[in-house]
Amino acid sequence: MNEKIDWSNLTFSYMKTDYNVRCTFKDGKWGEIEVSTDETINLHMAASCLHYGQEIFEGQKAFRGKDGKVRLFRIEENAKRMQNSAIGIKMEPIPTELFVEMAKKVIQLNERFIPPYGSGSSLYLRPLEIGISPRVGVNPADEYMFIIFATPVGPYFKDGFKPTKVAIYREFDRAAPLGTGRWKVGGNYACGMGATAKAKANGFSAALFLDPKEKKYLDECGPANFFAIKDNTYITPKSGSILPSITNMSLQQIARDLGLNVECRPIPVEELAEVQEAAECGTAAVATPIAEIYDEAMDHTYVIAKDGQPGPITTQLYNRLRGIQHGEVEDIHGWTTIIDL
Ligand SMILES: Cc1ncc(COP(=O)(O)O)c(C=O)c1O
């Protein structure tokens, strides 16, 4: 254990750890797994990732449990989603076996950076794949580099499980039309930064995006999916322009386990007036309650948590999810992988 780190006060930011793991796809096959202490990569200036955005990434966490064991949560789902991302932009999909082996290895190599149980922190893994072949024509690379680095993190939102406020700004789009400039690299994330910066400057924790076509239905927040509780039903947006969140998928199952109904469907903005609870959910956000949602165009605030406290169902969902991840609640769905240390 690294003695110098203040585990309970970590933020969601990068900290150097001892090792990262890398693997290169070349001549039609993945090579050997390399262990590196280098935080930088040597990249061709014409690499396809730099110009045409051939870059994909994932994010997941390893948790130290009450029993001292270290668990990864639904790692195969991250592997599957990364394969879908690769297929979407003509990159080389990473086999699940290689993905899981490298995830385990980077945790083992950085064991002293896994935060202790009870600190509220965890070891975040960031797998990324980039196209590294030089390209000036718009063509996919034939060589790829896959890296996983690890960094200890605290809560994404500084107040942890305390309800936050988010804002809806209709002038922002997360998918940049090419007519606005050559800024495709980074896709939805880079395009969402303008709205997030505006939200933060106005005292909100995040922007809540609407569907890009009609700007009528809820999509998701910058770094997380959205769900609400309405009359014993867990409702969450069905949309082709949001990330299929593994946390959201898991919370839907937990909601069913708790006897709630689950609806995945388009949610009109105005329906926010009828919900009793709302939250942002994701690996980083876990399930962060939302107290208020400000719709700038309508100059209207939906007050969801009137007493400013997390709602009872969100609290139950949060506790059950965290409990499974930390080995305190029985993992009836077989979602966790214990890492040999
Ligand atoms: C845009 C976006 N939506 C949703 C999520 C949540 O996905 P997951 O639960 O798989 O972490 C994330 C990542 O945390 C994200 O970046």
Q: Is 247 in the pocket of ligand 1 (CB under 6 A)?
A: yes
Q: Do residues 310 and 251 touch, judged by C-beta distance below 8 A?
A: no
Q: Which residues contact 20 (CB under 8 A, 6 or more apart)?
A: 35, 36, 38, 39, 106, 147, 148, 149, 150
Amino acid 179: pLDDT = 63
pLDDT digits (tens, 9 = 90+) for 80-104: 999 999 999 999 999 999 999 999 9
Q: Which atom of ligand 1 is nearest to the CA of 283?
A: 11
Q: Is 207 in the pocket of ligand 1 (CB under 6 A)?
A: no
Tell which CATH classification among 1.20.120.1770, 3.20.10.10, 2.30.40.10, 2.40.160.50 matches the domain 164-325. 3.20.10.10
Using CA positions, which residue lies closest to atom 6 of ligand 1? 282
Instruction: State how far the Cα of 34 lies from the Cα of 22, in Å rounded to an integer.
Output: 5
Amino acid 160: pLDDT = 76
Instruction: State how far the Cα of 327 lies from the Cα of 339, in Å rounded to an integer.
Output: 13
Q: Which atom of ligand 1 is nearest to the CA of 248?
A: 9
Q: Which atom of ligand 1 is nearest to the CA of 225?
A: 4
Q: Is 225 in the pocket of ligand 1 (CB under 6 A)?
A: yes
Over the chain, what HEC string results?
CCCCCCHHHCCCCCCCCCCEEEEEEECCEECCCEEECCCCCCCCCCEHHHHHCCEEECCEEEEECCCCCEEEECHHHHHHHHHHHHHHCCCCCCCHHHHHHHHHHHHHHCHHHCCCCCCCCEEEEEEEEEECCECCCCCCCCCEEEEEEEEEECCCCCCCCCCEEEEECCCCCCCCCHHHCCCCCCHHHHHHHHHHHHHHHCCCCEEEEECCCCCCEEEEECCEEEEEEECCEEEEECCCCCCCCHHHHHHHHHHHHCCCEEEEECCEHHHHHHCCEEEEEECCCEEEEEEEEEECCCCEEEECCCCCCCCHHHHHHHHHHHHHHCCCCCCCCCCEEEECC
Using CA positions, which residue lies closest to atom 5 of ligand 1? 224
Amino acid 37: pLDDT = 98
**CATH number attached to the domain at 7-153:** 3.30.470.10
Q: Going residue by residue through the chain (341 aa), what tens digit of pLDDT does each one get?
A: 766 899 999 999 999 999 999 999 999 999 999 999 999 999 999 999 998 889 999 999 999 999 999 999 999 999 999 999 999 999 999 999 999 999 999 999 999 999 999 999 999 999 999 999 999 999 999 999 999 999 999 988 777 788 999 999 999 888 766 666 655 555 678 888 999 999 999 999 999 999 988 999 999 998 999 999 999 999 999 998 899 999 999 999 999 999 999 999 999 999 999 999 999 999 999 999 999 999 999 999 999 998 989 999 999 999 999 999 999 999 999 999 999 99
Using CA positions, which residue lies closest to atom 4 of ligand 1? 224
Please state the pTM of the whole predicted model: 0.96
Is residue 158 packed enough to be buried (19+ CB in 10 Å), middle (13-18) or exposed (0-12)? exposed
Q: Is 251 in the pocket of ligand 1 (CB under 6 A)?
A: no
Amino acid 180: pLDDT = 61
- Kindly list the domain boundaries of the chain, sorted by start residue: 7-153, 164-325
Residue 243 Cα to ligand 1 midpoint, Å, equals 6
Q: Do residues 269 and 168 touch, judged by C-beta distance below 8 A?
A: yes
Using CA positions, which residue lies closest to atom 16 of ligand 1? 223
Please choose, from the candidates 158, 166, 156, 160, the residue with its C-alpha nearest in 3D space to the C-alpha of residue 292. 166
Amino acid, single-letter form, for residue 79: A
Q: Do residues 220 and 237 touch, judged by C-beta distance below 8 A?
A: yes
Q: Is 223 in the pocket of ligand 1 (CB under 6 A)?
A: yes
Over 151-201, what HEC string results?
EEECCCCCCCCCCEEEEECCCCCCCCCHHHCCCCCCHHHHHHHHHHHHHHH
**Substitution candidate for ligand 1 out of 188, 227, 243 with most atoms within 8 A of CB:** 243
Q: Is 59 in the pocket of ligand 1 (CB under 6 A)?
A: yes
Q: Is 286 in the pocket of ligand 1 (CB under 6 A)?
A: no
